[in-house]
Amino acid sequence: MRTFRLVIACPDRVGIVAKVSNFLASHNGWITEASHHSDNLSGWFFMRHEIRADSLPFGIEAFREAFAPIAEEFSMDWRITDTEQKKRVVLMASRESHCLADLLHRWHSDELDCEIACVISNHDDLRSMVEWHGIPYYHVPVNPQNKEPAFAEVSRLVKQHEAEVVVLARYMQILPPELCSEYAHKVINIHHSFLPSFVGAKPYHQASMRGVKLIGATCHYVTEELDAGPIIEQDVVRVSHSDSIEDMVRFGRDVEKMVLARGLRYHLEDRVLVHGNKTVVF
């Protein structure tokens, strides 16, 4: 069923919900899902509606025009999206295949509502798996000497494929700050620890050294500061003294792919609103 998704963040005050729901009702909009959140600490209000497109008398452009005065009145950060316009996603991977294979399978079986424009990797290992899915594969090697031209090429490919979202599916390279800020809140990473624990390299080794009893994974938006961006989703799995680092890596793969798939799904469904360094996930 085709829906429009109206996503709003604005300073909290009386009457926002009434105004918005009046607007929708006056156009006969059939709301299939509605979520609200008032954040007491920041004084902001967040709202997301799914509305059946066929219940409205106009398309998305006319909606935008009609709604603009309300958005202005309440100083809203807002967007409306159409489920028929699938988001274009670029996936980036390195050698480890588990997150990439998981996302490709979900997309292939119509579980992920997006178009996968291409896969970019700094290695050539996963080409055959990607191409079996009918998706273009670009091998852009990265080494300490070629970082600038390599990421210029990455940036060019992302633009050429008109990506709205970039997913680092265990890409293992740090994106340059310009890319991070150009695609703010549009680059999704999976970090293989329960952040803020074990930032940086080899988190499972760090976890083993500290002797933790649970390990985890964190899906977050990439910012210039490493592993410090707004968190979208996290999960953990129990480990014990009997689990080696290799066992942790193996358990971790399952958590990583689940957490990344959930986080990406929330993003694709316009469920994630970023405010400061935190997210509201409806």
Catalytic machinery residues: 227
According to the binding rule CB under 8 A, does residue 124 interact with a copy of itself? no
- Selected range binding a copy of itself among 2-10, 162-170, 180-188, 189-197, rule: CB under 8 A: 189-197
Q: Which of 139, 147, 159, 278 binds a copy of itself (CB under 8 A)?
A: 278
Structural contact between residues 58 and 27, judged by C-beta atoms closer than 8 angstroms: yes
Between the CA atoms of 24, 30, 32 and 33, what dihedral angle is there, to the nearest 10 degrees? 10
According to the binding rule CB under 8 A, does residue 258 interact with a copy of itself? yes
The helix (run of H) or strand (run of E) holding residue 264 is helix 245-268
- Selected range binding a copy of itself among 84-92, 137-145, 171-179, 188-196, rule: CB under 8 A: 188-196
Least distance between a copy of itself and beta carbon 183 (Å)? 20
Distance CA 224, CA 92 (A): 18
Residue 176 DSSP label: P
Token code pair at residue 117: 């424009």
Distance CA 201, CA 238 (A): 21
According to the binding rule CB under 8 A, does residue 211 interact with a copy of itself? yes
- Selected range binding a copy of itself among 57-65, 152-160, 177-185, 271-279, rule: CB under 8 A: 271-279
According to the binding rule CB under 8 A, does residue 34 interact with a copy of itself? yes
Least distance between a copy of itself and beta carbon 162 (Å)? 28
**Which residue from 48, 117, 115 is spatially nearest to 81, judged by alpha carbons?**
48
Nearer to a copy of itself, 38 or 160 (CB): 38
Nearer to a copy of itself, 50 or 164 (CB): 50
Distance CA 93, CA 91 (A): 7
